[in-house]
Structure 1
Amino acid sequence: MKKNAKSIDFIRKNWILYVFLAPAFLLVFVFNYIPMYGVTIAFKDFSPIKGIAESPWVGLKHFSSFLHSPNFTDIFLNTIKLSTFELLLGFPIPIILALMLNQIRRAGIKKNIQLIVYAPHFISVVVIAGMLFIFLSPAGPINAVLSIFIDKPISFMSEPEYFRTIFIASGIWQGAGFASIIYVAALSNTDPQLHDAATIDGASLLQRIWHIDMQVLKPTMAVLFILAVGGIMGIGFEKAYLLQTSMNIPSSEIIATYVYKRGLQAGDWSFGAAVGLFNSVISLCLLVICNFVVKKLNGETLF
């Protein structure tokens, strides 16, 4: 009772804070929670004429159809491979970049380098895809350089074996600089006296980075890694779809593009919703498992 009384008293004294919080809460409720009712179409044969409530209930029919479809294995593995490789290769790059930027002492040079590495993040995905098609075309500059060593130009965008490398490399180039901002901000809180003391004790640059800077970054790294694993199934639809050609489908077809084609283009709303819900459940499970593992190993946790 005393605890409840204290809570009520706190709310009365700080009611203005809850007034400021109300619009954000309302927006989240209206645009995130209310639409969850639409997830029920994954368990129905949805008809726009009948509506969600009147559409017949079919249970797990659409989930079973997806899991037993002949291309399920390829689509699922493509999604996992792209996401996993992008995480393993792309996650350390912003950390390394932030550590390198932290070693630059001249403010002017540091700002110019940051401007250069942050800039790709603000380029539209459509523009990035167009640039890749131009640069990697048989008549593009990449093949012009390779022509010195090979006789026949390579059609990078048509060969399935090149798609994964192109997708991941372009993603790292576009996002690594902007992703390093959080790590740069975390490193700015490092006490300079720690580095001074370590230098006096004879610690090398690498030793100071490992024992001081990396320790400062550890909590941030843990939280961002958990979030990255939680979003491993939510790999970007836009770039995968824009880079997709009829020739590289075996490597470029992922769950997101499959949902778009089957759910929106083909008008199979219930099937698309079922596949999307399946994707979300997998992401939630990965998030919870990763959070548990990181908490046990590192002591840091997201929730």
Structure 2
Amino acid sequence: MNKRLVLRDKWVLILFALPGLLYFLLFKYVPLLGNVIAFQDYNIFKGILHSPWVGFAQFERMFGFEDFYEVFRNSAKLGFYSLLFGFPAPIILALMLNELKSMAFKRIVQTVVYMPHFLSWVIVGSIFINLLAYEGFINTIASQVGIAKVDYVTHENTFIAVLISTGIWKEVGWGTILYLAALSGINPNFYEAAMVDGAGRWRQMWSITLPLLMPTMVVVLLLSIGHILDANVEQVLIFLNPLVRDVGEVFDTYVYTFGLVGGQYSYTTAIALFKAVVGIVLVFGLNAISRKTTGESLY
């Protein structure tokens, strides 16, 4: 009887997990088979089975283009700065929210910082393009205090900063959810013992909170590093304009332009495969370093 109950419970769990498993199978794993066209001269009318094989010709073409190195540089630069400033932002915000004593005020603040995540990039882009325009609100205020006007969205020196700051503004609140959950799991006895020893809030944070958050931070960091060459294509396409294309063209917009619009499917698949290989190498390499230095890792 007990075995039947256990088996029934397992089938219930399997049925609950089935939609998620089917989603990943159909939309994440099955499409991986399409990477084979990176080694073909793919023709949409002939299909994968009848398109001619060209070996590594698409990769040779990729590394032979001067534009590829410019796009690689732009993608790496945007990914690095997004990680440098975007990774600690939700941690800092979660620590600040955790210090709020009033639960009512804490819920209000959480709701406010979560809201931008649910706005589309079309709305967010429209708001910030108008705010940062040459005759926009920010430049109007700046001119009144004697600061020269700058069209931030069309200036090469400020365009990357616009992408990074708007990305943080939109997602920082949503990113705190994981860290707030981790903070709620910390045993309060640790803090009580620290207070008995005379530790203040700063010492408690450095000696208790951050070390206990380390496993979560390491996992999030390693997963983020795997996507360092990825950009939010919707965000970049909305902000991108001809005046900043030299610094704003990244792999995702390049693939969109040449792959979807230009129909060069094999060439852009080779680029996507290159990105995936770089991400895998970074994740495995930094995971090994993290395991040796901090004792924390993905596996």
Give the TM-score category using the shorter length. Answer: over 0.9
> Which residue matches 2:230?
234
> Which residue matches 1:207?
203
Most deviating of 278-287 and 78-87:
278-287
- CA drift of 1:198 comes to 1.2
Distance between the aligned counterparts of 1:77 and 1:276, measured in 2?
Answer: 15
- CA drift of 1:152 comes to 5.5
Structure 1 residues 151, 108: closer, same or farther in 2, change over 3 A?
Answer: closer
> Which letter maps to 2:24?
V
Distance between the aligned counterparts of 2:245 and 2:145, measured in 1?
Answer: 28
Structure 1 residues 12, 187: closer, same or farther in 2, change over 3 A?
Answer: closer
Match of 1:280 among 270, 276, 280: 276
Distance between the aligned counterparts of 1:50 and 1:141, measured in 2?
Answer: 54
> Which letter maps to 2:224?
A
- CA drift of 1:22 comes to 4.4
Structure 1 residues 266, 198: closer, same or farther in 2, change over 3 A?
Answer: same
> Which residue matches 1:110?
106
Distance between the aligned counterparts of 2:284 and 2:247, measured in 1?
Answer: 28
Q: Which residues of structure 1 form unaligned runs of 5+?
A: 1-8
Distance between the aligned counterparts of 1:191 and 1:14, measured in 2?
Answer: 31
- CA drift of 1:114 comes to 1.0
Match of 1:190 among 186, 189, 200: 186
Q: Secondary structure at the match of 2:43?
A: coil
> Which residue matches 2:131?
135
Structure 1 residues 205, 19: closer, same or farther in 2, change over 3 A?
Answer: closer
Distance between the aligned counterparts of 1:18 and 1:256, measured in 2?
Answer: 36
Distance between the aligned counterparts of 1:218 and 1:120, measured in 2?
Answer: 27
> Which residue matches 2:163?
167
> Which letter maps to 2:91?
I
> Which residue matches 2:88?
92
Match of 1:157 among 153, 158, 162: 153
> Which residue matches 1:59?
55
Q: Secondary structure at the match of 1:147?
A: helix
Matched, 1:295 2:265: no
Distance between the aligned counterparts of 2:183 and 2:17, measured in 1?
Answer: 30
Distance between the aligned counterparts of 1:246 and 1:150, measured in 2?
Answer: 29
- CA drift of 1:15 comes to 4.9
Distance between the aligned counterparts of 2:127 and 2:21, measured in 1?
Answer: 41
> Which residue matches 1:6?
none
- CA drift of 1:136 comes to 1.0
> Which letter maps to 2:30?
I
> Which residue matches 2:122?
126
Q: Secondary structure at the match of 2:208?
A: helix
> Which letter maps to 1:269?
Y
Structure 1 residues 83, 110: closer, same or farther in 2, change over 3 A?
Answer: same
Distance between the aligned counterparts of 1:155 and 1:210, measured in 2?
Answer: 41
Q: Give % identity.
A: 35
Q: Secondary structure at the match of 1:79?
A: helix
Q: Secondary structure at the match of 1:37?
A: helix
Match of 1:218 among 206, 214, 220: 214
Q: Which residues of structure 2 form unaligned runs of 5+?
A: none
Most deviating of 148-157 and 284-293:
148-157
- CA drift of 1:34 comes to 2.3
CA RMSD of aligned residues (A): 2.0
> Which letter maps to 1:218?
M
Distance between the aligned counterparts of 1:14 and 1:118, measured in 2?
Answer: 36
- CA drift of 1:237 comes to 1.0
Q: Secondary structure at the match of 1:82?
A: helix
Distance between the aligned counterparts of 2:96 and 2:147, measured in 1?
Answer: 40
Structure 1 residues 31, 123: closer, same or farther in 2, change over 3 A?
Answer: closer
Structure 1 residues 149, 191: closer, same or farther in 2, change over 3 A?
Answer: same
- CA drift of 1:127 comes to 0.8
Distance between the aligned counterparts of 1:15 and 1:169, measured in 2?
Answer: 46
Structure 1 residues 27, 167: closer, same or farther in 2, change over 3 A?
Answer: closer
Q: Secondary structure at the match of 2:263?
A: coil
> Which letter maps to 1:271?
Y
> Which residue matches 1:73?
69
* Count, aligned residues: 295
Distance between the aligned counterparts of 1:195 and 1:30, measured in 2?
Answer: 46
Most deviating of 245-254 and 148-157:
148-157
> Which letter maps to 1:207?
R
1:78-134 Cα deviation digits (max 9, x unpaired): 100101111011111111111111111111111111111111111111111111210
